[in-house]
Amino acid sequence: MSENLKTILRICSRASDQSEYYDLGDFQLLIGAGDINESRVIDSAFALINENKQETIRALSEHKDALFLYKQLVNQIIVLKPVTRNLTNAEEGRSRATDRGVDFPSVELQYCCRSKTGALLLHWSSYTANFLLVWMNIDLGTNSLSQYLWHIETQNVKRFLSEGRPLEVKRLYQALDLIAINALYSYPRGLANIKIGKNGFSRIGQLIFRCTLEQDIQVVAINDPFIPADYMVYLIKYNSTHGRFKGEFSTIKGKLFVNRNKINVHNEKDSSNIPWSEVGAEYIVESTGVFTTIAKCRSHLHAGAKKVIIAASSVDSPMFVMGVNEDKYRENQTIILATSYTTNALAPLAKVVHEKFGIIEGLITTIHSYTVAQKTVDESSNKNWRNGRGATQNIIPSSTDDAKAVGKIIPDLNGKLTGIYFHVPTPSVSATDLTVRLNKGAKYEEVCAAIKEVANGSLKGILGYTDDQVISTDFIGDTHSLIFDATAVISLNDNFVKLISWYDNEYGYSNRVVELIKYIAKK
């Protein structure tokens, strides 16, 4: 079957082939099954695509050809629910004996090469009448799931029900029962329909891009006015902190190909000129640090985007932290903020402690690795004099609004927290010191046990827990928002406690940005 699919869709025979290949973005495979058994066979055949679990995909790492075929097909397959069923021998015999031709609807597929639109039509044919029963128009240029709906020709049905013979009417009712308005039988559960555009390919933009590749989310376009496609390849492949990224990378005529998936590259300074609608980008990750207000980000919407997710600071955008307040998101919110690295780390822990014991007030000290905004050696910095000093030589205090942001995300804590940063000479991984006065007194062991329970339960994957003797480099590349360090906790008494957590301020945050996009895409 795989070889036939490769032939039909003109995929090169092996993943290692260097010959020219076709971009499968121009293809979409529609599978309309006959009876329910056929549907199950087809669904089983594409079980890997439908399951789309990382552990299953990793298990194919030694079967490179199978993995390659999966990667090529994963975004193109849609399986429709069956609109017929197997007749029993008796039913089949009666239909032939009476010669009335009473059977289930026949399918007609029409396709227009010019508009790239298709139509699925179900025709009813019996002794009394022949007519169009239901129809569906499909634009093959979009992955919108809302178009896979059957439209019933109500007048034709009503007329037939009043004129048809009893056996015909009975069979029509049976057919209508099989026609679900939502025609999708199965669709890749990995949310392959999500199409992301990226504005800005800075350091955090590059790591968010890595995370989209690891989670099989499709990036269709990248815009950065200062970085050409060939330099993007270099930035994707190599990272001094997170190591070399494994994959196939190339550029062809200004387009970027990553694992043979085409990504359009643009170098527009004016965001309103980025052709998001032309490339089908619906969710824009804004990581330039320039477009940080709702007013500035509207240009992405005007260019055809559906949603904008700001991966930077913003003063007026609604903010969301996975595991804390994502349930507050509403579909009409088109521009949202993924908050900052540290807010993503602080908010889950503050939520757990406040819900379990109640936080009266607290101070937050963040030991933060240096950032791209700092200087490697002393240089002028009019906005913040201290930030002009050499980042690799000094511990540099800095003000922060992260504690206040936690108060906005968790309204009960508004005005109860404040904090400070200390930038230290390490390239990645930071630590937070959340020192709080508790309303409900608890022993040190009780606090740790409560956090561990949530880390293994409702916040698994977001809040980590360790009681090992760890240091900062042990968490490079960790995907959690934070990892609570039970061995570093101290308490003055049952109501006054210091809680220490680690977090990869780059990689953990980048994973949450991608997960936030996946979350809002389901809404």
Confidence (pLDDT) at 140? 73
Q: How confident is the model at residue 18 (pLDDT cuts 50, 70, 90)?
A: very low
- Residue ending a domain, among 186, 215, 239, is 186
Q: Is 17 in the same domain as 123? A: yes
Cα(483)–Cα(503) distance, integer angstroms: 6
* Residue 87 shares a structural domain with residue 182: yes
Residue 51 confidence class, pLDDT cut points 50, 70, 90: low
Q: What integer pLDDT is reported at residue 352 of this predicted model?
A: 98
For 351-372, what is each residue's pLDDT tens digit?
999 999 999 999 999 999 999 8
| Average pLDDT for the chain | 82
- What total number of domains does the chain contain? 3
Residue 338, amino acid:
A
Cα gap 6→72, rounded to integer Å: 10
Contact (Cβ atoms closer than 8 angstroms) between residue 233 and residue 251 = yes
How do residues 286-310 score in pLDDT, each as one tens digit?
999 999 999 999 999 999 999 999 9
- Taking only the tens place, the pLDDT of each residue in 418-439 is 999 999 999 999 999 999 999 9
3-state SS class at 256: strand
Are 157 and 18 found together in one domain?
yes
Longest dimension (CA), the chain: 95
* 208 and 170 assigned to the same domain: no
Burial, 510: exposed, middle or buried (Cβ in 10 Å; 0-12, 13-18, 19+)? buried
Give domain status of residue 20, yes or no: yes
Note whether residue 335 is domain-resident.
no
d(CA 192, CA 355): 36
CA dist 100 to 128, 167, 330, 364, 411, Å? 9, 10, 54, 80, 70
For residue 60, being part of any structural domain is answered with: yes
Averaged pLDDT, 184-208: 76
Task: Count Cα neighbours of 158 within 13 Å in the Cβ-side half-sphere.
Answer: 3
Share of the chain above pLDDT 90, in %: 54
In this structure, the answer to whether residues 175 and 206 fall within a common structural domain is no
- Would the pLDDT of 340 be above 80? yes
- pLDDT for the residue 56: 57
Do 277 and 242 reside in the same domain of the chain?
yes
88 assigned to some structural domain: yes
Mapped to the 3 state alphabet, what secondary structure does 8-46 carry? HHCCCCCCCCCCCCCCHHHCCEEEECCCHHHHHHHHHHC
Nearest to residue 363, comparing CAs of 417, 412, 438? 417
Q: Is residue 279 part of a domain?
A: yes
The pLDDT of residue 311 is 94
At 235 the pLDDT is 94
Residue ending a domain, choose from 186, 213, 234: 186
Whether residue 383 is found in the same domain as residue 237: no
Last residue in a domain, options 186, 220, 248: 186
Residue 239 included in any domain: yes
pLDDT category at 382 given cuts 50, 70, 90 is: confident
3-state SS assignment for residue 389: coil
Tens digits of per-residue pLDDT, 159-182? 888 888 888 888 887 777 677 655
192-218 b/e (C-beta count within 10 Å ≥ 16 → b): bbbbbbbbbbbebbbbbbbbbbebbbb
Is residue 394 within 8 Å of 400, Cβ to Cβ?
no
225 and 103 in a common domain: no
Percent of the chain with pLDDT over 70: 75
Residues 42 and 159 in one domain: yes
Residue predicted with more confidence, 225 or 146: 225
In this predicted model, which residue has the larger pLDDT, 88 or 318? 318
Alpha helices in 14-124 (DSSP H): 36-45, 47-51, 54-58, 64-73, 89-98
Q: SS in 3 state form for 345-381? A: HHHHHHHHHHHHHCEEEEEEEEEEECCCCCECCCCCC
pLDDT for 450-479, tens place per residue? 999 999 999 999 999 999 999 999 999 999
* CA-based end-to-end distance of the chain: 35
Distance CA 266, CA 386 (A): 36
Residue 323 lies in a domain: no
Among the listed ranges 145-154, 288-297, 331-340, 419-428, which one has the minimum average pLDDT value?
A: 145-154
Question: Is residue 336 in some structural domain?
Answer: no
- Residues whose CB falls within 8 Å of the CB of residue 348, separated by 6 or more in sequence, listed in order: 321, 323, 324, 459, 462, 463, 481, 482
Which residues constitute the domain of residue 376?
A: 341-505
Residue 262 belongs to domain with CATH number: 3.40.50.720
Q: What is the CATH number of the domain that holds 483?
A: 3.30.360.10
Closest CA to 318 of 518, 516, 523: 516
Does residue 104 carry a pLDDT above 60?
no
**Do both 273 and 172 map to the same domain?**
no
Residues 160 and 288 in one domain: no
Q: What pLDDT was estimated at residue 228? A: 93
Top-confidence residue, 168 or 513: 513
What lies within 8 Å, CB to CB, of 195 at 6+ separation is 143, 218, 219, 220, 279, 280, 281, 282, 283
What confidence score (pLDDT) does residue 494 get? 97
For residues 202 and 178, state if they share a domain: no
- The whole-angstrom separation of Cα 82 and Cα 180 is 9
